[in-house]
Amino acid sequence: MRPLRLWSIVAGAALLLACDRPRASAGSPGKAVPTSRPVDEAARPIELLTWWGKVGDSNPIEAFYAVHRRRYPLDLIVDAKTNLSDQARRTRKEQIESGEPPDVFQATIGKDHMQWVLTNGADARDSKVLALDDVMADDVRAWRAVVPARILELVSFDGKLYGLPATVHRINAGYANRRVFREHGLDVPRSVADLLSAAEVLGAAGVPLVAIGAREPWALRLLVFEGLLVALDGADFYESYLAGKERADDPRVLEALRLGLALMRHANADWDGLTWMQAAEMVARGKAAWTPAGDWAGVLFAPGELAPAGDVVETAFPGAEDTLVYTVDVFSATVAAKNLAGAERLLSTIGSEEGQRALSRIKGCLSPRSDVNAYDASPTQQRKARLLRDGRITLGAVSLAEPRFCEDVQAALAEMVKQGDVEPVVQTLRSRYRLLSKAADLATRPF
């Protein structure tokens, strides 16, 4: 029995009989026009599977639902949320393969999402998710006018859209407690060499440089691949490696592993028992100096949250200021959805201008919509928006590489740290590298 949380029951039987639910116009996001639907459809729940959870005062699902409730006040949404993304992916796989999928689910753009479109490895004939052009054409036309084609291409096959991009996050980011660095005569690191030097100084004072929460081992992948490998060898090599075009045990990858292990010797001892949020809290409390994390962690450091104002600053991963490693959260409607009309309404709200403004504010992220990003962005957000538009960009490993490859390498990275030896990862790379598609074509030209 999967965990379900009922968000809201907003109408009794009399109200259901008296009211029609509004339907948003694709040309005017957030504005509702009446439609007529059977009462039993209005009462039918919409099941949503996501890993978005409450982070500090930030609750993206509730913020999004507040918008949806204004547009469709009679909708009943069942939240099948799990706060851990790896667990959500396992739940998603079990539900889809058992024939009991949610109506709408979250995925990461690229391989993680497209595995449910190209389930037969060749085309979309056996897709587990719907082509949105076929069921909500007006909304799709509106999205195509404001979402960059490059993002839409990554969720499309044969010209049809199979997922709705919802957020854009920087992966190769970090959060530094400037007070901790300053107290030890250090500046916030701007290069990998700076990181290693700071590790020695802080280590001598008994302060961990790195806070890592790798209860889900993707945090170690972010440190080594999206972080160190890109900073040391650039996005071109990183992409080529994850496309299966290099040697599995390329010396540049081995060096990134060795440096990752060196940094983990200056990390919190309980790294494998903490979540990324708990690691971020260590930095906020001054119990560690720096944590590598996607910019989704920024909401924890908002004024009035965990740290005094100005103590914690978001930076690019040291040495990679001019490269944006990014990810996009994608939402899709399943072919076997029990409430397809409800799934369409949910996606319509997620993709609307009003919905996107709410999400980008509450999650501290960029929006896929070009008409949203400039609304009141901070200087940090503006810099990222410029990189997204004009700079060197590349997708995260979970988007570029086969899911099984990422899962196995992440587990091996955890073993590497426990054993104090890179060999578990080297052997895994040699045995799993064949999983990477040599024909991968996820180009990363600027939008």
- pLDDT of 44 reads 84
- pLDDT of 375 reads 60
Structure tokens that stand for 325 in this block: 């490693």
CB within 8 Å of 191: residues ≥ 6 apart: 231, 318, 319
Closest among 71, 75, 62 to 9, alpha carbons compared: 75
Banded model confidence at residue 372, pLDDT cuts 50, 70, 90: confident
Q: Which of 143-152, 285-294, 315-324, 422-431 shows the lowest per-residue confidence on average (mean pLDDT)?
A: 143-152
Per-residue pLDDT tens for 48-60? 999 887 776 778 8
**Is the C-alpha dihedral spanning 222, 223, 227, 229 positive or negative?**
negative
- pLDDT of 363 reads 87
Structure tokens that stand for 303 in this block: 């004024």
Q: How far is the C-alpha of 101 from the C-alpha of 95, rounded, in Å?
A: 5
Banded model confidence at residue 32, pLDDT cuts 50, 70, 90: very low
Per-residue pLDDT tens for 351-361? 999 999 999 88
- pLDDT of 16 reads 31
- Beta-sheet pairing, 46-49 with 77-79: parallel
CA 269 to chain centre: 26
- Beta-sheet pairing, 77-79 with 104-108: unpaired
Structure tokens that stand for 149 in this block: 């084609």
- Placement of tokens 């009943």 in the chain: 76
- pLDDT of 381 reads 84
Structure tokens that stand for 37 in this block: 């639907």
pTM score of the predicted model: 0.81
Banded model confidence at residue 189, pLDDT cuts 50, 70, 90: very high
Q: How many CA atoms lie within 13 A of 102 on its CB side?
A: 26
Q: How far is the C-alpha of 131 from the C-alpha of 137, rounded, in Å?
A: 10
Type of residue numbered 414 = A
* Domains in the chain, CATH or no CATH each: 5-170+327-390 (3.40.190.10), 173-325+393-435 (3.40.190.10)
- pLDDT of 377 reads 67
Averaged pLDDT, 85-112: 89
- pLDDT of 371 reads 87
Averaged pLDDT, 112-140: 94
Averaged pLDDT, 309-318: 88
